[in-house]
Amino acid sequence: MTTPNKTPPGADPKQLERTGTVREIGSQAVWSLSSCKTGFGVDQLRDDNLETYWQSDGSQPHLVNIQFRRKTTVKTLCIYADYKSDESYTPSKISVRVGNNFHNLQEIRQLELVEPSGWIHVPLTDNHKKPTRTFMIQIAVLANHQNGRDTHMRQIKIYTPVEESSIGKFPRYTTIDFMMYRSIR
């Protein structure tokens, strides 16, 4: 009998942002949770601190709901999990769903995690690597390691592609560039 390989950690999502190809859009959404222990809610999930976490408080599945005010293009979801710190609270099976609202969510990814330690990158693209357009993302924790009941998630980030013009990226102009342009005219 073979043991499954541990889930390898992905790169720090801030490295993705530094490439200029994506930007984090979690602040544009309304976040809600199926349950949480007092002091371990959305604020901890979004505070950029890997030492804090959301802790659920109830029966599975544990849900993170992310709702945008308008249909939004999403490319990558990044989740930080740490088996060494969280043990039985660490998710082992996650479902990612998208849709217009709670009533028409469709699963687009299901992940099996084996003792994850670090960032997990979940592509939110179709078979042609085209980003998804959606009003809502739901992350459902279906199972935890060691049959744990409640779950910990330390951070969640959502990325959209940076738009490019038909001739490439828009150039970045400085104040001096605009002053020179105005003096020429």
The DSSP call for residue 127 is: T
**How many other CB atoms sit within 10 Å of the CB of residue 63?**
18
DSSP states of 77-118: EEEEEEHHHHGGGSEEEEEEEEESSGGG-EEEEEEE-SS-EE
Instruction: Specify the length of the chain in residues.
Output: 185
- Of the candidates 146, 134, 54, 143, the one whose C-alpha atom is nearest the C-alpha of residue 102 is 134
Q: What is the pLDDT of residues 70-129, one digit of tens each?
A: 999 999 999 999 999 999 999 999 999 999 999 999 999 999 999 999 999 999 998 899
pLDDT for the residue numbered 174: 46
- Enter the pTM of the model: 0.85
Enter the DSSP assignment of 151.
-
Contacts of residue 48, defined as CB under 8 A and 6 or more positions apart, other chains included, come to: 155
| Token pair 């293009």 in the structure block, residue | 73
User: What is the tally of helices (H) and strands (E) in the chain?
Assistant: 4, 11
Residues 131-166 have pLDDT tens digits of 999 999 999 999 999 999 999 999 999 999 997 544
Q: Is 183 exposed, middle or buried (0-12, 13-18, 19+ CB in 10 A)?
A: exposed
Taking residue 93's Cβ as centre, other Cβ atoms within 10 Å add up to: 16
